[in-house]
Amino acid sequence: MPTTQISIENEVTLRNLKAAFEGESNAHARYTAFAVKADSEGLHGAASLFRAAARAEQIHAESHARVLRQLGAEAAATIQPVRVKSTIENLNEARAGERYEIDSMYPEFIREAKGHNNTAAVRTFEWAIEAEKTHARLFSEAIAVLESGWLIAARNYYVCAACGYTAETPESERCPTCNLQWEKFEVVR
Ligand SMILES: [Fe+2]
Ligand SMILES: [Fe+2]
């Protein structure tokens, strides 16, 4: 029956959107706590990176929530208590989380949403995975820099207000992921 088929498809998409909303909401909470810890260790550059990534994850959560509401569902997340360790450990944990989303979670969600032609779900997942790739790279670079004794100074990051793309410099006219104008990027320090 077509109606049964549609509801099963929606169920999978909804479950994935809710899982992604939950994951992004918790990543936002985790990175916000990690930023406080980095500042307390005098690693203000790492704190800036965590704040920028936290804002990007919040933008992803908001984007997933919009799609959930379009599908008639609620967006609700349970925020888990954050276990804050040293900044180097927090950076490693953050990178591992990003890699899970890049290598496993989002590719599966995108494949599923494409299979059901849910273009809104495909778009919000694709926007998120592109930003997570830059986060994984930035966390990797921060780990290398921290191991050589830097990351002391706070610095600006530029976060796309639509898709969460996170850049170190305002280098181009538009967001490479979603095409938003650079003037609409948020500066996070
Ligand atoms: Fe991320
Ligand atoms: Fe963007």
DSSP character string of 3-24 = HHHHHHHHHHHHHHHHHHHHHH
pLDDT band for position 1 (cuts 50, 70, 90) = very low
Cα gap 32→169, rounded to integer Å: 22
Distance 3 CA to ligand 2 centre (A): 35
Nearest-ligand number for the alpha carbon of 98:
1
Cα gap 120→95, rounded to integer Å: 27
pLDDT at 84 over 90: yes
Within a 10 A sphere around the Cβ of 145, how many other Cβ atoms? 16
**Residue type for 146, please?**
L
Q: Could you give the 3-state DSSP secondary structure of residue 32?
A: helix
Distance 87 CA to ligand 1 centre (A): 16
Distance 146 CA to ligand 2 centre (A): 28
pLDDT band for position 172 (cuts 50, 70, 90) = confident
Distance 86 CA to ligand 2 centre (A): 31
Answer with the residue of higher pLDDT: 122 or 4. 122
Cα gap 12→87, rounded to integer Å: 36
Cα gap 25→75, rounded to integer Å: 10
Which residues fall inside 5 Å of ion ligand 1, going by CB? Answer: 132, 135
User: Residue 8's pLDDT is what?
Assistant: 61
Distance 2 CA to ligand 1 centre (A): 37
Cα gap 46→187, rounded to integer Å: 15
- Which helix or strand (DSSP H or E) is residue 187 part of? strand 186-188
Distance 153 CA to ligand 1 centre (A): 22
Q: Could you give the 3-state DSSP secondary structure of residue 43?
A: coil
Distance 7 CA to ligand 2 centre (A): 31
The chain-wide mean pLDDT, for the chain, equals: 93
Burial letters 121-144, b for 16+ CB under 10 A, else e: bbbbbbbbbbbbbbbbebbeebbe
- What are 117-157's pLDDT values in tens digits? 999 999 999 999 999 999 999 999 999 998 887 767 899 99
Helix/strand/coil percent split, the chain, to 5: 65, 5, 30
- What are 20-58's pLDDT values in tens digits? 999 999 999 999 999 999 999 999 999 999 999 999 999
pLDDT band for position 83 (cuts 50, 70, 90) = very high
Distance 88 CA to ligand 2 centre (A): 28
Nearest-ligand number for the alpha carbon of 24:
1
pLDDT at 5 over 60: no
Distance 49 CA to ligand 2 centre (A): 18
pLDDT band for position 9 (cuts 50, 70, 90) = low
Q: Name residue 159's beta-bridge partners.
A: 166, 186
Q: Name residue 158's beta-bridge partners.
A: 167, 187
- What are 57-71's pLDDT values in tens digits? 999 999 999 999 999
